[in-house]
Amino acid sequence: MAKIVPFKAVRPTRDKVSLVTSRSYEEYTPAELASQLDYNPFSFLHILNPAYVNLHKISTATRFKGVQLKYQEFKEEDVFKKELNPIFFLYEIHSKNNTFTGIIAGTSIEDYKNNVIKKHEDTLAYRVELFKDYLHQTGFNTEPVLITYPQNNELQQWIDKRKQKRPLYLFSSLNKDKHTIWRIKEDEEIQWVQEQFEKMGNLYIADGHHRSASAEMLYDQDKDSGNANLNHFMSFLICETNLKIYEYNRIVNDLNGLTKHAFLKALEKDFTIVNKDQELWKPKQKYQFGMYLDGDFYALTLKNTNFNSVMESLDAQILYTKVLNPLLGIGDLRNDERIAYIPGSKPVTAIKEMVDGGDFEVGFMLYPASINEIKELADNNLIMPPKSTYIEPKFRSGLVVYEI
């Protein structure tokens, strides 16, 4: 039984919402970041990066304190306002190719601990600790965990009907996405939505494993403080059929001492290889892999597809066990500096350009994992290889704030 709760959200005022919200801080190039910070005084990036010129000269603790002070400044200047009562939000992101709709709510630390909310990715201890310290010192979070739930026809009908009402926000971002938010504030409606989630057996984390682990760590650290807000973390809950799951493609900067001929010959043990020449080829189905090497694209099809477990049959795991580790000598997928990752949302030409540029020698394109594979892994307490999935939607920073 999954438990979700409304919360007293902090959000931008209507007249400033399109100016305040931003993409994830890490997505900006230095030039884009400088432009936003120089010319948009309302950007949430000012909060995330309060010492933007001298960032490399200050300690982490000083930076987090600066984030907290800048956030309070935005509140004092009425850039943000706080809801008087706990509420849910219904949020829709409409992009060129996809429309995503979900519910913003608080999800339970207890459910997370008891594996009602299930995970499929491993976390890095230092990142969990760092974000826990960030939450503790700043006192807020604006990056919800993306959580998926099974198809629920009644809930979908309610969402479709609720979207006909006047929204709280309707604005476009600079990447031409359209964002619409409805406020769910009626007690009966809130209770009905909660009851729908109570009927569900499990929820699954799609994106945000470090954020949820940090929320748990903060709860364990400060649970005796009496702060009820620690009992939950902010999540964006979306139906599993509404997710867009991309692969993470791989590029490697050398052939581990092999010649091109020797490498192709070694691949023939496990794959049928077809040279696609200049065709921008991507896998069409599971057990197919694309490869770009020395100016040509190749289609690799796995010969033996008999596996004993879902983990062994994952395309990302197959590429590791058949190619990256034994042939190219990549041991630690997370930390080896010879390998880099390109999200499947980017075109194949991005891989071609990086290899042609000379910094990398070979690129691999994978077929995306399915939601059923992700759920089966989580149900069996198994962990996907690092950088196996790139999942949309991505939430805008500064749109909704959960105060701790």
pLDDT in tens, 205-244: 999 999 999 999 999 999 999 999 999 999 999 999 999 9
Judging by beta carbons within 10 Å of its beta carbon (0-12, 13-18, 19+), is residue 179 exposed, middle or buried? Answer: buried
Determine the average pLDDT of the residues in 120-148: 94
User: Percent of the chain scored above 90 by pLDDT?
Assistant: 87
Task: Look at 7 and 96; give whichever has higher pLDDT.
Answer: 7
Q: Which CATH number fits domain 245-391: 3.30.750.24, 3.40.50.170, 3.40.50.10800, 3.30.1760.10?
A: 3.30.1760.10
The continuous run of DSSP H or E covering 290 comes out as: strand 288-293
Structure tokens at 164: 């006909």
- Show me where the domains of the chain are located: 4-244+392-403, 245-391
SS3 call for 40: coil
Structure tokens at 195: 């009851």
Q: If we measure between CA atoms, which residue out of 325, 323, 208 comes closest to residue 266?
A: 323
CATH of domain 4-244+392-403: 3.90.1530.10
Distance CA 399, CA 44 (A): 9
Q: Can you give the pTM of this predicted structure?
A: 0.92
Alpha carbon distances (Å) from 344 to 208, 275, 297, 319: 18, 21, 16, 16
Residue 58 has pLDDT above 80, yes or no: no
Question: Given this model, what pLDDT does residue 30 score?
Answer: 84
Angle at 242 between CA 236 and CA 244, to 5 degrees: 95
Give me the amino acid identity at 151. Q
